[in-house]
């Protein structure tokens, strides 16, 4: 099992650096092609930070680890809210945009319910997957039009000035990011599978904890960076947008590759937890800012979730 742990650690490192390289490279390439910062933020960054989940899920689906694939999506969404927002809020108080509360959080909750209902019979087929992908495209298009109509121009960051970008270097950065993501995802899935089998626990538990943590690293990096640069209003939007992408795009593409079949009820605890964390955002966002005290509450809630998984869900699954 020691070797499997090494594979997991190396895989996590690959996902972390690969995700960072991919998002940076893709953003700069898009800038040189004339895409606006708004379009980049709503497409390249949103999809880029979900790339680890997409690659890990695709590999897990090919290997028949359906529980790991579904657990990764739900666990990643929980980690994004409890862990990522919690840590980011300790760096700086998070400003809440009204559009996130009125539009994006309800859509995230609706997408969570959609996936929960879809998996009630133990299967997500290709038709459901296609519907999820189309729903994500519709959401992205609607969000872009809304943002474009309310804010026609957003200034470029200093490091996204087209005049200072060398496209060849960014293509190399992008390709390196994709390569690291692919290798990291492969190592993480293989190592996590072996650990699950050795310990006699389900792929769902590994997916909802270790794998989910690893695939959430890009969101952690982007959110902390935004907070340090004083752009805290981006943190909540990044997390909620990534969660929607995970539920609709990542899970949709995964099921198009290979339909997910899972024991009915196996993910009940995960879905309930994801809904609780999502609903938890409403009272916290009522003052349009997440204070450090509220960020601590999110971290404590995430630790309680992990404790329930380790000391209640795991023993119950082994009995």
Q: Tell me, letter by letter, the H, E, C secondary structure of the chain.
A: CHHHHHHHHHHHHHHHHHHHHHHHHHHHHHHHCCCCHHHHHHHHHHHHHCHHHHHHHHHHHHCCCHHHHHHHHHHHHHHHHHHHHHHHHHHCCEECCHHHHHHHHHHHHHHHHHHHHHHHHCEECHHHHHHHHHHHHHHHHHHHHHHHHHCCCCCCCHHHCHHHCCHHHHHHHHHHHHHHHHHHHHHHHHHHHHHHHHHCCCHHHHHHHHHHHHHCHHHHHHHHHHHHCCCCHHHHHHHHHHHHHHHHHHHHHHHHHCCEECCCCCCHHHHHHHHHHHHHHHHHCCCCEECHHHHHHHHHHHHHHHHHHHHHHHHHHHC
pLDDT in tens, 37-65: 556 665 676 677 788 888 888 888 888 88
Q: How far apart are CA 74 and CA 81, in angstroms?
A: 11
Average of per-residue pLDDT across 139-164 = 62
Where in the sequence is the domain holding 125, given as residue range(s)?
2-318
Range of lowest pLDDT (75-79, 162-166, 184-188, 314-318): 162-166
| CATH number for 50 | 1.20.1420.30
pLDDT-based confidence at residue 35 (cuts at 50, 70, 90): low
pLDDT in tens, 94-136: 888 777 788 888 999 999 999 999 888 888 999 999 999 999 9
pLDDT of residue 73: 95
Q: How many domains does the chain fold into?
A: 1
Beta bridge partners of 260: 124
Rounded to two decimals, the pTM is 0.85
């Amino acid at each position: 099992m020691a070797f499997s742990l090494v594979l997991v650690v190396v895989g996590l490192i690959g996902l972390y650096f690969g995700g960072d390289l991919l998002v940076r490279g893709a953003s700069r390439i898009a800038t040189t092609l004339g895409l606006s910062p708004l379009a980049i933020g709503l497409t390249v960054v949103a999809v880029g930070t979900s790339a680890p989940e997409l690659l890990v899920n695709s590999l897990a689906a090919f290997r028949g680890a359906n529980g790991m694939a579904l657990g990764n999506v739900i666990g990643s969404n929980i980690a994004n809210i409890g862990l990522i927002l919690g840590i980011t809020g300790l760096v700086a108080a998070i400003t809440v945009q009204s559009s996130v509360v009125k539009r994006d959080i309800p859509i995230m909750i609706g997408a969570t319910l959609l996936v929960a209902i879809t998996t009630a019979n133990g299967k997500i087929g290709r038709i459901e997957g296609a519907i999820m992908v189309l729903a994500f495209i519709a959401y992205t298009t609607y969000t872009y039009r809304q943002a474009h109509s309310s804010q026609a121009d957003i200034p470029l960051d200093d490091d996204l000035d087209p005049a200072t970008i060398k496209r060849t270097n960014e293509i190399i950065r992008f390709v390196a990011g994709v390569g690291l993501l692919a290798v990291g995802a492969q190592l993480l899935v293989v190592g996590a599978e072996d650990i699950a089998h050795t310990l006699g626990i389900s792929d769902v538990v590994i997916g909802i904890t270790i794998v989910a943590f690893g695939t959430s690293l890009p969101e952690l990096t982007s959110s902390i960076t935004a907070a340090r640069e004083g752009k805290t209003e981006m943190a909540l939007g990044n997390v909620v947008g990534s969660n929607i992408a995970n539920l609709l795009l990542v899970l949709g593409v995964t099921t198009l590759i290979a339909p997910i079949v899972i024991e009915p009820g196996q993910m009940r605890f995960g879905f309930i937890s994801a809904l609780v964390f999502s609903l938890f955002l409403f009272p916290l966002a009522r003052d349009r800012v997440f204070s450090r005290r509220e960020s601590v509450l999110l971290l404590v809630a995430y630790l309680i979730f992990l404790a329930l998984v380790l000391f209640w869900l795991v023993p119950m699954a082994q009995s």
